Amino acid sequence: MTDNELSVLWRGQWPACSPMAETLKLAYPDRWVRFHSLPESKRYAENEGEYEILLRRYNSVLDELFHGQEVRIITTSWSNDPEPPPRSATHLRWHRGARYWMSVCTDEDETDPDFITYTHLYASRAAWRFGSIDDLLHAVADDATRGVMITSLSFDRINHPYDGGSDVLLPTTADRDAMKHRHTDWLSSHPSGL
C-alpha cells in the first residue's frame, strides 16, 4: 500500500483529524475510552510486579481488539525538519520493519517562526499475538517513546498506548460502550474519563 493510499484509508475512517494519536480522543469523544494500566490510576510501574500488571492490561485490550488478525503498528519520531531524520540505531529499535508514512507539523511557535516541530509517522504490519510487542509497550509505559498506535488494517479500531494506560477508539459508540463495560475497573474515576 502506498503512503497516499494509507492516508486515504485514514481519512475515510477519521476525517476530523490527522493521524496523531493524542488528537483522536478530542475529535471523536463518542468513540473513545481510556483504560488505565495500573490499579488506582497509578501512572508508572515501580517494580516487576507492576510491569506484569500493565503489560497484561495493555495486551488484554489489544487482544480483545485484534485477536487472530494482522495489525498496523504506527510509531513516531520528531525533528525540526519536514523530512524524517536518518534512521539511527535508536530509531530502528522502535520502528523495526516500518516504512516512513508522513510528517505532520505539530508545533509552530508564533514568537519564533524558525521553531517548528514535525512528527514523522512510520507504519508497519504484523500478525497480532499477545505479548508480541511487549518491548514497545514497555518503552511506552516508561515514556521512552510516544505517539504509538496499534490499529486494524482498515484503521476502524485504534489502540493508542501511553505512559499510564491506553486510549481506544472504536467504530461506534455502542462498540465503545460494550468494551468500556467489560473493563470498568480499569477506567478513570475522573468525570471526563481521563
Q: What mean pLDDT, rounded, does the chain reach?
A: 89
Query: Which helix (H) or strand (E) is 125 found in, with range?
Result: strand 116-127
Percent of the chain with pLDDT over 70: 88
Q: Is the pLDDT of residue 172 over 60?
A: yes
pLDDT band for position 2 (cuts 50, 70, 90): confident
Cα 10 to Cα 112: distance, rounded to the nearest angstrom: 32
pLDDT tier for residue 56 given thresholds of 50, 70 and 90: very high
- The whole-number pLDDT of residue 132 equals 94
In the prediction, which pLDDT does 47 show? 92
Q: Which residues sit opposite 35 in a β-bridge?
A: 166
Tell me whether residue 96 is exposed, middle or buried, using C-beta atoms within 10 angstroms of its C-beta: 0 to 12, 13 to 18, 19 or more.
middle
What is residue 170's predicted lDDT score, i.e. its pLDDT?
A: 98
- Domain boundaries along the sequence of the chain: 3-186
CB 145 within 8 A of CB 139: yes
pLDDT confidence of residue 88: 55
100-116 pLDDT, tens digit per residue, is 899 998 776 656 666 78
In order of 1, 5, 63, 94, 113, the CA distances from 37 in angstroms are 33, 33, 15, 20, 38
Give the pLDDT mean for 17-40.
Answer: 94
* pLDDT tens digits for range 77-133: 888 887 887 765 555 566 667 888 999 987 766 566 667 888 999 999 999 999 999
